[in-house]
Chain A
Amino acid sequence: MLWQKELPAADLVIRGARVLDPVEGIDARLEVRIDAGTIAEVAERIDANEHRVVEADGLILAPAFVDPHVHLRTPGREDEETIASGTAAAAAGGYCAILAMPNTDPVVDSAVTLAALVETARREAEVPVGFLAAITRGQRGEELTEMGELADSGAVAFSDDGVPVASAGLMRRALQYASTTDRPLALHCEEPTLSHGGHVHEGRVAAELGFGGYPSVAESVAVERDLSLAGYERGRVHVLHLSAAESVDALRRARVAGVTASGEATPHHLVLTDDAVRSLDPNVKMNPPLRAEQDRLALLEALRDGTI
């Protein structure tokens, strides 16, 4: 379920743009007519009639993006981001729908908190936004949230993003219970005892610069564990922000073996490697870290073959 504020449905004709749509195989200079917010016609020449005309010479017109992994920092850190500012950024960046993660303060672990977010989204959201709820209360990794009520209140999936579920036993229970809600678990896969103190991919760059190493295996052992459990319990999982070739391999094997699993990668992991860390620009330090070229290529390959 997605929510946004009421916006007038636009009647537009967009002219002069290079229209790109890989799915339809379109790459041409075309005009596009939109009637009441819905694409009505794509052709070489369209009469504007009463429609507002947008001159888009030199621009690319393409189907909008969807970002299933957004942090709107609301509630709790409205000084950093609000539903209004985050969805305005999404609109400016060409995104037509986003999903917000529940690692807020308080954590989205109760129907009350979720209802307040939905209410705000109906007032403020510039693009449709959906919300994930936590797997465990307070993301403490101890007790399951009331997933049934949360799903009924609109949670699209469950995630302890940012705080991996450390206990395999609890992950099993989560998989079992989430299956009754028909919602997937979105998993931040990180074995904290292996990533502890690590800031940069454990490899040549970290070794040379002296950064604490965050090895690929810290991600892949957690991916392997959770996919094994998902297979055993016939659960549905989505693996968040994959970074390592070994994790991609694990996901591909699990899918072939019939596990209901999907995965995602961020644009920066697709275009950058740990080599960027040599700039010492703190913006390239992230979790999971940028990895080696072979990892980047594995992510691209997985994107091509549909694993991601």
Chain B
Amino acid sequence: MIRLVKDDLRPPATPPKRHLLSVGDLTRDDIDRLLGTARTFAAALERHVKKLPTLKGHLVVNLFYESSTRTSSSFELAAKRLSADTLTVKSVGSSVDKGESLKDTALTLGAYDPDVIVIRHPQIGAPQLVARVTDAHVVNAGDGKHQHPTQALLDLYTLREEFERLDGLHVAIVGDVLHSRVARSLVQAFALVGIRATLVGPPALLPRELPAETTVDIEAIRDADVVYVLRMQNERMEPGANFVPSLREYTARWGITPERLRPGQKVMHPGPMNRGVEIDPRVADSSDSLITAEVRSGLVVRMAVLYDLLTGGPVGVQALAAAEVA
């Protein structure tokens, strides 16, 4: 009998627990629900006591194999604001230094029965592996150049707070698309909610055949409601790769300066910024910059993601009422 090899390679049927591994896992309804939950949490955070008892008794493990400021701190704070226990493991200083494999580290942490494992890893598909070998809900906090779904969600949240809509917006994503998991996640997320995306950058940094509008012409940012600036990822570029002749030349041709922007045109950046390279400091610090708003969004959106995974539904009035009583 001839076996269907293609079928063998398909991932297993819908896992019994829900994970957030890729924007591709989400529907428009999921996004609306998560952003709604995030907004409810944002309101809750304006109160004097900012801690909610919602996830009391749950354990959230943060497993970070790459450096991070925003993502790791906001996941940790999000879990703490929801009263979950947190455990943060960084590859540096852990048994990863001794050569422990991702699978064994995941099995070890899985033995503590965590409810959620948040993982960042330089290899594409690492969160899928953790999801296969543990019983925890897994959240992808960035895997190689592949996906960073909570970044896309927090950017949608930021856009909706700013424009009070998502449908019909036009966002120009500028810079190093090739190495950017943020750009890949955004392109998918924007398509789901009806945002037009235009990718702009030097030819070698625009991946071939990415299903999106792409151009090398920086003038294309003019028509956009928002210019989303990507970081030049020097750590992912080998010396001598010649993606661009020099950073100086890149800045001259694709750097986002006040002169290249329309008055009132909004600017976003996932951070960390290379000030003076992809983004002019005057732009980063201007009143049209949404960069700090993105960081604030990160906290409430990650609270919403943890809440959604562990309760499997929209944040209810009752849950919040219970929170107030506590």
Contact = CB atoms under 8 A, between A and B. Distances in A.
| A and B from one complex | yes
Interface of A: 197, 202-204, 206-211, 213, 268, 271-272, 276, 279-284
Interface string B213-242: 000000000000000000000000010010
B47 interface: no
B141 to A, nearest CB: 15
Contacts of A203: 208-209
Contact of A209 (B124, B238, B241): B124
B238 A280 contact: no
Interface stretch (B4-12, B160-168, B264-272): B4-12
B145 A211 contact: yes
B10 A208 contact: no
Given A202-B208, A203-B208, A280-B128, A208 B9 contact: no
B144 interface: yes
A96 B286 CA distance: 73
B102 to A, nearest CB: 12
B81 interface: no
B163 to A, nearest CB: 27
Contacts of B145: 210-211
A210 B9 contact: no
A284 B9 contact: yes
Given A203-B208, A210-B124, A279 B184 contact: no
A279 B9 contact: yes
A207 B5 contact: no
Contacts of B181: 210
Contact of B184 (A210, A272, A281, A283): A210
B16 interface: no
B106 to A, nearest CB: 15
A16 to B, nearest CB: 15
B51 interface: no
Given A202-B208, A209-B184, A271-B6, 8 more contacts: A197-B238, A202-B209, A209-B124, A272-B9, A280-B11, A280-B125, A280-B128, A284-B9
Contacts of B238: 197
Given A279-B10, A280-B125, A280-B128, A208 B210 contact: yes
A277 B63 CA distance: 25
Contact of B208 (A197, A210, A213): A213
Contacts of B10: 279
A210 B236 CA distance: 12
5 contacts: A206-B207, A207-B207, A210-B124, A211-B145, A272-B5
Given A210-B146, A211-B145, A272-B5, A280 B209 contact: no
A280 B210 CA distance: 18
A276 B146 contact: no
A206 B211 CA distance: 11
B240 to A, nearest CB: 10
A184 B319 CA distance: 75
Contact of B6 (A272, A280, A282): A272
Interface in B96-132: 124-125, 128
Given A204-B209, A207-B207, A276 B6 contact: yes
A95 B241 CA distance: 44
A280 B124 contact: yes
A279 B11 contact: yes
Interface string B1-29: 00001100111000000000000000000
Residue of B145, B181, B207, B241 ringed by the most chain A CB atoms within 10 A: B207
Residue of A207, A276, A284 ringed by the most chain B CB atoms within 10 A: A207
Nearest to B11: A279
